[in-house]
Chain A
Amino acid sequence: TQLLEQSPQFLSIQEGENLTVYCNSSSVFSSLQWYRQEPGEGPVLLVTVVTGGEVKKLKRLTFQFGDARKDSSLHITAAQPGDTGLYLCAGRLGGTASKLTFGTGTRLQVTL
Chain B
Amino acid sequence: EAGVAQSPRYKIIEKRQSVAFWCNPISGHATLYWYQQILGQGPKLLIQFQNNGVVDDSQLPKDRFSAERLKGVDSTLKIQPAKLEDSAVYLCASSFGAGGSNEQFFGPGTRLTVL
Q: Mark B78-115 against chain A: 1 for CB-CB distance below 8 A, else 0.
A: 00000000000001010000111101111111000000
A39 CB → nearest B CB, Å = 10
**Is A97's CB under 8 angstroms from B93's CB?**
no
Q: Are B4 and A88 in contact (CB under 8 A)?
A: no
Interface of B is mostly: loop
Majority SS at the chain A contact face:
loop
A87 shortest CB reach to chain B, Å? 10
Residue in contact with A100 in the complex, picked from B104, B105, B108, B109, CB distance below 8 Å: B104
B64 interfacial contact with A, CB 8 Å: no
Interface size on B, residues (CB 8 A): 22
Contact of A42 among B42, B44, B93, B98 (CB under 8 A): B93
Q: Give the residues in chain A near B93, CB-CB below 8 Å.
A: 42
B72 at the interface (CB under 8 A from A): no
The reply to whether the CB of B14 lies closer than 8 angstroms to some CB of chain A is: no
Residue on B nearest A107 in the bound complex, by CB: B40
Which residue on chain B has the smallest CB distance to residue A43? B106
Decide yes or no whether A11 CB sits under 8 A from chain B.
no
Report yes or no: B42 in contact with A88, Cβ–Cβ below 8 A.
yes
> What are 19 inter-chain pairs, A to B, with CB distance below 8 A?
A31-B100, A41-B108, A42-B93, A42-B105, A42-B107, A42-B108, A42-B109, A43-B106, A44-B106, A45-B103, A45-B104, A88-B43, A92-B100, A97-B99, A99-B48, A99-B56, A104-B40, A105-B41, A105-B42
